[in-house]
Amino acid sequence: MKYKLAIFDLDGTILDTLDDLTDSLNHVLAEHCYGLHTKEEVRGFVGNGIHKLIERAVPTGTSSNDIENVYNEFSEYYKIHCTDKTKPYEGIPDMLMKIRSAGYRTAVVS
């Protein structure tokens, strides 16, 4: 066996978190009377962390103070709602069981 370990990212690789991200983001944006985003738009905003997601989602020209407020409110709201719709991608649990049964160790780095 050439490899002994398989390492995975969690969000967007093992778990489909996009619905909860979209719902949480839109909840906070609505609280600030900012425009809402579709799931596909949010998919395009994802990458480089939650702060970057917020920066991409708020209207152009939003002050850094307002961005921080949205970020903090999103973080609190998402903590409560991050598992409302989140689930493993189809086939992931079976794949993980198969590679572990084959003798590979698994880890998540996220």
Q: What is the pLDDT of residue 87?
A: 97
User: What are the residue ranges of helices labelled H in the chain?
Assistant: 18-31, 39-45, 50-57, 64-81, 92-101
Question: pLDDT tens-digit profile of 55-110?
Answer: 999 999 999 999 999 999 999 999 999 999 999 999 999 999 999 999 999 999 98
Cα-Cα-Cα-Cα dihedral of 41, 42, 48, 52, to 10°?
A: 90
- Predicted TM-score (pTM) above 0.85: yes
**Token pair 């992931």: residue:** 92
Which residues are catalytic, by number? Answer: 9
